Amino acid sequence: MKAVAVLSSIVAFIAGGYLLSTQAVADNSFLEVIAHGMGIYFLAKGLWLGPSLWTQHESRRHLEQLARGAGVLESKEQQRERERRAALDLARPRNET
């Protein structure tokens, strides 16, 4: 998730820089104004998107740690051990009396 955050910010910055550097053939072209506006938007999006995704990842990680500490969420090792014990219980013959 952290790599996606950094990559998305970089792509947005590159797109914004490209659109801001766009020059129209004719003077006072409306398409140039639109391209520059989109360039500013993508630069702002790059400033917002990366930190937002990074924060989302950190919040999720902290929430999982809190849930494990409270006993609400099992760790992967605990889950594997529980599944292993369940499989052993199923394989064990039952005494039917």
| Burial of 16 from C-beta contacts in 10 A (0-12 / 13-18 / 19+) | buried
The DSSP line for 33-69 is HHHHHHHHHHHHHHHHHHHHHHHHHHHHHHHHHHHHH
Percent of the chain with pLDDT over 70: 97
Average per-residue pLDDT for the chain:
84
Regarding predicted confidence, which is higher, 93 or 23?
23
> Could you tell me the pTM of the whole model?
0.59
* Angle value at C-alpha 69, between 67 and 70, nearest 5 degrees: 65
Any idea of the CA torsion for 73, 78, 81, 85, to the nearest 10 degrees? Answer: -40
What 3-state class would DSSP assign to 22?
Answer: coil
pLDDT tens string 32-75: 888 899 999 999 999 998 889 889 888 888 888 887 777 777 77
| Sequence spans of domains, the chain | 2-91
Q: How confident is the model at residue 97, as a pLDDT?
A: 58
